Amino acid sequence: MCTHNKKNEKNRAGSPPKPLFYRSLEPTLNAKSSTLYTAVDCFPMRKLLYLTFSMALIAVLTTYAMWAADRPAGHYLSDLRIDLAIDQGTPADRGNLLGIQPELFPTDYQSPDRLHRKLAAYLQKAQAQGLLNEKTIVVLPEHVGTWLMVSGEKDELYQANTIKEAMNWLAVSNPVKFLRALISARGENRLDDAHLRMKAKGMAKDYQALFGGLAKEFHVTLVAGSIVLPEPSVIDGTLKVGPGALYNSSIVFGSDGVPIGQPQRQMHPVFARNDETTPPGKPSLTVIDTPAGRLGVLIGRDSWYPDNYRQLDAQGAQLVAVPAFVNGRGTWDQPWRGLKDLTSAAVSLKAGEVSEGQAWHRLTLTTQPGSQAIAGMSVFLRGQFWDQGSAGQSFLSRNGQHFASDPVRGARLLNLWL
């Protein structure tokens, strides 16, 4: 509570007697004086408090904005080596399927340039071994483009211990984008949806520039793994995103760096709701022409469904590319969990009967009954993203026979001459 100056009261107590008329008005004057003292003392104090609080708030917000905008480039050291694990067939003029099983980490995604450096090193190794030509189809793994969501972020994100902590840093470092994305987020896990949606436009741009650029640089047809984007489409040769649901999609780039056709959406995404899969009544799978033959792309577990191979056969698919990903280190040797909509009527295989790896070999590529494709390749993403490991051993298939890469760590090349 504000009070007036006590020293002035003491001075007035020792002063000479005041006139009678003044003494008669003294109580009123004292009351007014007290009110005046209170007003004079309190109002500046409140203004000072408000001003101090406002300045502190502005300072905090300014510091936070400067911190969020700062993107220092951290030290980058990554293993660019890759070994040729499988080389099947005899070189001819019909071309080849070349799978790249990379070993990737969060720091590889600090910028598109860093990821380009690593993938280009793999392709340069293949080129030096005579595995690249104008009819080569390069196949990259599932979600190799999805992790572009963490590109251009702060060092704290890459140094996080868990993926949950990393995603928290992603949101804190992009507050405006994250809040906007959260408002329009869909699905059961709105946070994951918002994390992907908030950087979708930049991801689409980087994805096309990076993988289209690699296809043009090495003069190959490139199956650019997959990327999760909201309602992706190719308009006038440019990959665009829309306001709709998220789709795990793959794009094939020609040797001119331009997308061939529309993005191939995953038909049976593990994370999505039923209304987020490809709408009924539209062509679900498409086959494209490449210099090496007609190519169909099945993303991940889409390669388990016999109906998908029948759709590819109806369009004359000769080759099948399967970008794949298995979450969790050691999952490859654990019991197969199956899928709810993959019934015994579709395949003679039940959950738990075989391991995850055995299920992939039983259900994927040209081992499918009645498949007309002459060759195919399943390529897995390997590496460690914070506390989330990966499994999966890439393999190729020809005439019903599989050839698998070794289970050791490190990047691998898989080549199949057609």
* pTM of this structure: 0.82
Distance, in Å, from the CA atom of 100 to the CA atom of 347, rounded to the nearest integer, reads 29
What residues pair up with 234 in beta bridges, in sequence order? 239
CB 185 within 8 A of CB 197: yes
For residues 330-334, give the mean pLDDT: 94
| pLDDT tens sequence across 171-187 | 999 999 999 999 988 87
Q: What is the pLDDT of residue 380?
A: 97
CATH architecture of residue range(s) 84-417: 4-Layer Sandwich (3.60)
| pLDDT tens sequence across 59-110 | 665 665 555 555 565 556 688 999 999 999 999 899 999 999 999 999 999 9
Three-state secondary structure along the chain?
CCCCCHHHHHHHHCCCCCCHHHHHHHHHHHHHHHHHHHHHHHHHHHHHHHHHHHHHHHHHHHHHHHHHHCCCCCCCCCCCCCEEEEEECCCCCCCEEEEEECEECHHHHCCHHHHHHHHHHHHHHHHHCCCCCCCEEEECCCCCCHHHHHCCCCHHHHCCCCHHHHHHHHHHHCHHHHHHHHHCCCCCCHHHHHHHHCCHHHHHHHHHHHHHHHHHHHCCEEECCCEEEECCEEECCEEECCCCCEEEEECEECCCCCECCCCEECCCCCCCCHHHCCCCCCCCCCEEEECCEEEEECCHHHHHCHHHHHHHHHCCCCEEEEEECEECCCHHHCECCCCCCCCCCCCCCCCCCCEHHHHHHHHCHHHCCCCCCCEEEEEECEEEECCEEEECCCEEEECCEEEECCCCCCCEEEEEEC
| pLDDT tens sequence across 244-284 | 999 999 999 999 999 999 999 998 775 444 334 444 445 48
CB 414 within 8 A of CB 99: yes
CB 326 within 8 A of CB 380: yes
Q: What is the pLDDT of residue 42?
A: 58
Distance, in Å, from the CA atom of 4 to the CA atom of 19, rounded to the nearest integer, reads 24
- Helix 163-173 / helix 175-183 crossing angle, nearest 10 deg: 100
pLDDT band at 411 (very low <50, low <70, confident <90, very high): very high
Burial class (CB in 10 A: 0-12, 13-18, 19+), 415: buried
| pLDDT tens sequence across 204-259 | 999 999 999 999 999 999 999 999 999 999 999 999 999 999 999 999 999 999 99
* Non-local CB neighbours of 315 within 8 Å, separated by 6+ positions: 285, 286, 287, 294, 296
Q: Which amino acid is at 48?
A: L
Distance, in Å, from the CA atom of 29 to the CA atom of 23, rounded to the nearest integer, reads 10
- Joined together, the tokens standing for residue 346 give 């579709």
Q: What is the pLDDT of residue 344?
A: 47
Q: How many CB atoms lie within 10 A of CB 284?
A: 16
CB 384 within 8 A of CB 62: no
Q: Where in the chain is the domain with CATH 3.60.110.10?
A: 84-417
Distance, in Å, from the CA atom of 108 to the CA atom of 18, rounded to the nearest integer, reads 88
Taken in order 188, 191, 195, 197, the sign of the CA dihedral is: positive
Residue 150 or residue 29, greater confidence: 150
**pLDDT > 50? residue 160:** yes
